[in-house]
Amino acid sequence: MTKVHNFSAGPGILPQEVLKQASEACINFDNMNLSLLEISHRSKNYVKVMDEARQLVKDLFEVGDEYDVFYLGGGASLQFGMVPMNLLTETGYAAYVNTGVWASKAIKEAKIVGNTKVIASSEDKKFNYIPKGYEIPADADYFHITSNNTIYGTQMKQFPKSPVPMVCDMSSDLFSRRVNAKDFALIYAGAQKNMGPAGSTMVMIRKDMLGKSGRKMLSMLDYQVHVKGESMYNTPPVFPVYVSMLTLRWLKEHGGVAWIEKINQQKADLLYAEIDRNTCFTGTVVQEDRSNMNVCFLPTKPEYEAEFDKMAKANNIDGIKGHRDVGGYRASIYNAMPIESVQVLVDVMKEFESKFA
């Protein structure tokens, strides 16, 4: 089978060994001679999957029983509404930083639920940087940030110290680098970047945050219900959770977040160095805020794009087309992306310059 170098922004690349195990489970799961897709989610065989998937999050984040972990459907976009429903009181307000499309959508949903204030934004320069130097209000119910921005290619390299509970959407850089998870009251992430297939979202919440809003809400939207149900109040997204468990197990067995952080930095350094060196391409983001997950760049001449597309395709490079809001190219180099594939892209960029510059 021809090797394809998959730079898709999401759903993104997964480890080959994980895909193999997952495919086998679709035929014969846990030596039951039954498919994972057709067994009861209440069976002991699947319950242990859910238990491990939840515990692995705590292990990789290095937190204890002060946090609960559960998996939900609806994608991270559902959390844009669930976060304020569960944390925003009727008399209080939430503070948000706007760093891109997904942060903007989170703000939009929060405003529907209650009083929401944007305390910093990089919209003035088309989100090509991360705001800094802003003050987090000490009387807010919570403070919300987005750690990495897939569309614009920016990433928070350091997290602010918050006087109020801090909430973070880590959908596109979850477990890609070490963070002090105990600084956060709640972390959520769609699975389809660094964990598994689309269809599941991981939520980790500090227990003292449960029941904070005082709101009456539908059971399916209440964090307390999902914690009490041990992530199985209703039928969970069985297959995405299983693949997420395998991916997290793969990460832990290979050395955990510290291991993958080094590799991710090497990949990012390799690609950004070529972007900065190559006369045919230019980066789109302020250098200090460049994402290690989503590398965005433009051709220096519009006419280069069609030719580079042909060369990329000829070298089995897939998924590097930039988002329509930015244009150009976006190479997503998530945890499972091997450095060898990044080297292929760099070599093609060098070859392109030798032919067309």
**Alpha helices, DSSP H, located in 174-317:** 223-228, 238-253, 256-277, 304-314
Calculate the alpha carbon distances from 92 to 34, 99, 169, 210 in Å: 51, 23, 21, 16
State yes or no: is 102 an active-site residue: yes
**Catalytic one of 68, 141, 173, 193:** 193
Q: In sequence order, which residues have a C-beta less than 8 Å from that of residue 35 and are 6 or more positions away?
A: 25, 26, 27, 28, 29
Q: In sequence order, which residues have a C-beta less than 8 Å from that of residue 213 and are 6 or more positions away?
A: 84, 85, 86, 87, 88, 89, 90, 141
Greatest Cα-to-Cα distance within the chain, rounded to the nearest angstrom:
64
State the pairing for strand pair 67-72/5-6. unpaired
State yes or no: is 157 an active-site residue: no
**Catalytic one of 68, 141, 169, 173:** 169
State yes or no: is 193 an active-site residue: yes
Rg of the chain in Å (alpha carbons): 21
Closest CA to 291 of 267, 321, 323: 267
**Catalytic one of 102, 173, 267, 289:** 102
State the pairing for strand pair 154-155/148-149. antiparallel
**Alpha helices, DSSP H, located in 88-217:** 101-113
Looking up tokens 């009083």 gives 115
Closest CA to 84 of 137, 144, 32: 144
Active site members: 102, 169, 193
